[in-house]
Amino acid sequence: MTSSATSPVLDTARRAKAAAAVLAPLPRAVRDGALLVIADALRARTEEIVAANAEDIAKARVNRTSEAIIDRLTLTPERIEAIAADVAKVVALPDPVGEVVRGSTLPNGLELRQVRVPLGVVGIIYEARPNVTVDAAALCLKSGNAVLLRGSSSAYASNTALVAVLRDAVESAGLPADAVQLVPGESRESVKELMRARGLVDVLIPRGGASLIRTVVEESTVPVIETGVGNCHVYVDEHADLDMAVRVLVNAKASRPSVCNAAETVLVHTAVADAFLPRALAALAEAGVTVHGDPSWQRASDTVVPATDEDWATEYLSYDIAAAVVPDLDAAVAHIRQWSSGHTEAIITRDQAAARRFVSLVDSTAVMVNASTRFTDGSQFGFGAEIGISTQKLHARGPMGLPELTSTKYVVTGDGHIR
């Protein structure tokens, strides 16, 4: 039996640590050049990637995987082109490494600067999202980090193919191939080893369902940046433009229901319920959405499924939405505070005072005013690709772009100063 000291997972982590030491001092031009090579390689090897992805899709259908998960798993030529385009966009983003966060000259004459530096080795644990493989690699390389990728077994063929493309591209650009590695193994034991590789891995970022995230947070000895599930809400205020409200709601729920920024609950002020509910029900039905509603929604249509507490707590990731009528804005906020995962909430209103109150009271990573929850996304925020959406409050919160993949160090310059 292989001992943990010489396990394939730890050997991979050691190689990543060595690669991170090479990456950290490299100038921006070298790292950006590698990203452009990656984008070209993804386009050139699309057929190979799609073929590997087809193996995963076939296995998923045999295992009767839900359509929502299969959608997350699927790579098409169009999606690969979009992924490659996102990599190219990262090149144009400002380089966070070396940025001076703050600086001053102390009374004793010492010059003090706090500068951004790479985190080192970043481990990503994720489920059924092979696009994360490329997004994570691109952002980590841009910010001077080595990356260890541990996707789910359901995407193993896709991730293996993608990492082969990434490693070839990185090496051809003059960077160490071990800057991008797939964590070996498909068992849970390999994940546990990664979570306990303290000293070799600097930070772990879990991306996936509540169970995965909870396991990593509770069992890891490596520091964790907690990402969260997306139980997102849309609140239709008494002063809402109802045409806008219907349009935003349908987009938030149905444009891509399998993602974490899709709306899972709609709350409607009682003053506009009679006018809004029939229109919303018709539009949601046309989009194929099943409504799980409170008694007010049930009275509006016999197609509404009675809602339970489980519905208020559920991240459906499907064409389902929970729905309730509330007496006022404060009741909407109370509902959100009780059931939200802290990801994204939206208010539709023409009343600026109501918007300000909602924004001040709702404690989530992003609050939208008259806009869809679907905008909580690193690319949409102008960050290029994102490493994840953090729902914690330390170091990083919300969509995590390049600055969130750095730490800082202090550089102190003197002239023979002694204390």
- 309 Cβ neighbours under 8 A, 6+ residues apart: none
Confirm if 209 and 66 have CB atoms less than 8 A apart: no
**Which CATH number is 4-225+400-413's, of 3.90.1150.200, 3.40.190.10, 3.40.605.10, 3.10.580.10?**
3.40.605.10
Domain assignments of the chain as residue spans, ordered by start? 4-225+400-413, 232-375
Confirm if 404 and 229 have CB atoms less than 8 A apart: no
Helix (H, G, I), strand (E, B), or coil: what is residue 336?
A: helix
For residue 132, the Cα-to-chain-centroid distance in whole angstroms is: 9
Q: Which of 175, 159, 210, 55 is nearest to 148 (CA)?
A: 159
pLDDT at 5: 64
- Amino acid 357 reads R
Distance (Å, whole) CA 270 – CA 197: 53
Distance (Å, whole) CA 332 – CA 145: 42
- 116 Cβ neighbours under 8 A, 6+ residues apart: 96, 97, 98, 99, 101, 403, 406, 407, 408
Distance (Å, whole) CA 19 – CA 35: 16
Neighbours of 386 (CB within 10 A): 25
Q: What stretch of H or E contains 366?
A: strand 366-369
Confirm if 142 and 32 have CB atoms less than 8 A apart: yes
For residue 336, the Cα-to-chain-centroid distance in whole angstroms is: 21
Residue-by-residue pLDDT tens, the chain, 419 positions: 344 567 999 999 999 999 999 999 999 999 999 999 999 999 999 999 999 999 999 999 999 998 878 988 999 999 999 999 989 989 999 999 999 999 999 999 999 999 999 999 999 999 888 999 998 999 999 999 999 999 999 999 999 999 999 999 999 999 999 999 999 988 889 999 999 999 999 999 998 778 888 899 999 999 999 887 899 999 999 999 999 999 999 999 999 998 899 999 999 999 999 999 999 999 999 999 999 999 999 999 999 999 999 999 999 989 999 999 999 999 999 999 999 999 999 999 999 999 999 999 999 999 999 999 999 988 788 876 678 889 888 888 999 889 999 999 999 999 999 99
The vertex-196 CA angle with 194 and 202, nearest 5°, equals 75
Q: Which of 10, 340, 397 is nearest to 200 (CA)?
A: 10
Neighbours of 344 (CB within 10 A): 31
Q: pTM for the whole thing? A: 0.84
Specify the fold of 232-375: Aldehyde Dehydrogenase; Chain A, domain 2 (3.40.309)
Distance (Å, whole) CA 415 – CA 102: 21
Sign of the torsion formed by the C-alpha atoms of 358, 359, 360 and 366: positive
Helix (H, G, I), strand (E, B), or coil: what is residue 360?
A: helix
Domains 4-225+400-413 and 232-375 share a fold: no
pLDDT at 2: 42
pLDDT at 213: 87
In DSSP terms, which residues pair with 253 in a beta bridge? none
Sign of the torsion formed by the C-alpha atoms of 271, 277, 280 and 283: negative
Sign of the torsion formed by the C-alpha atoms of 345, 349, 352 and 354: negative
Confirm if 178 and 19 have CB atoms less than 8 A apart: yes
